[in-house]
Amino acid sequence: MIVDTVRPAKERSTPSRDWLSKTLAGVTGGFGLGIAASGLLVFLTPGAPDVQNKFQVAMWLVPPVWIGVMSASFMFRSGLRAWAWLGGANIAGFAMLAFARHFFIR
């Protein structure tokens, strides 16, 4: 995140603040994003959702997204920001999934 140099050093939000809140945001938000990403893979790639073993690749996509987001969650300046950004990303992800499902299925 961006360094806020105007405020005095003592008040500056640091990445080590709210580690528990950030961790939980990363774990839940990361899982949600992983699921949304796998859903987009299922609907936006060529072939029907039930083509041979596409479901396997969709499952295997979840762990890398999940771990990636979990790792990145410590970059946020505060726990609240982590929840807000990841919550927003999840809403966007699942909205895209709903669109993809609506337009590309059948």
Compute the Cα dihedral for 58, 62, 65, 68 and give only its sign: negative
Identify which of residues 6 and 52 has a Cβ nearer to other proteins in the complex: 52
Strand, coil or helix: 9: helix
Identify which of residues 43 and 83 has a Cβ nearer to other proteins in the complex: 43
Candidate list 25, 29, 33, 38; residue touching other proteins; CB under 8 A: 38
Strand, coil or helix: 25: helix
Residue (of 77, 78, 95, 82) closest to 27 by Cα position: 82
Decide: 74 and 18 in contact? Cβ < 8 Å.
no
Candidate list 25, 28, 33, 42; residue touching other proteins; CB under 8 A: 42
Residue 51 in the binding site for other proteins (CB under 8 A): yes
- Tell me the C-alpha distance between 82 and 74, whole Å: 8
Q: How far is the CB of 6 from other proteins (least distance, A)?
A: 16
Q: How far is the CB of 54 from other proteins (least distance, A)?
A: 5
- Tell me the C-alpha distance between 106 and 40, whole Å: 15
Contact residues for other proteins, defined by CB under 8 A: 3, 14-16, 19, 27, 34-35, 38-39, 42-43, 47, 49-60, 62-64, 66-68, 70-71, 74-75, 94, 97, 101
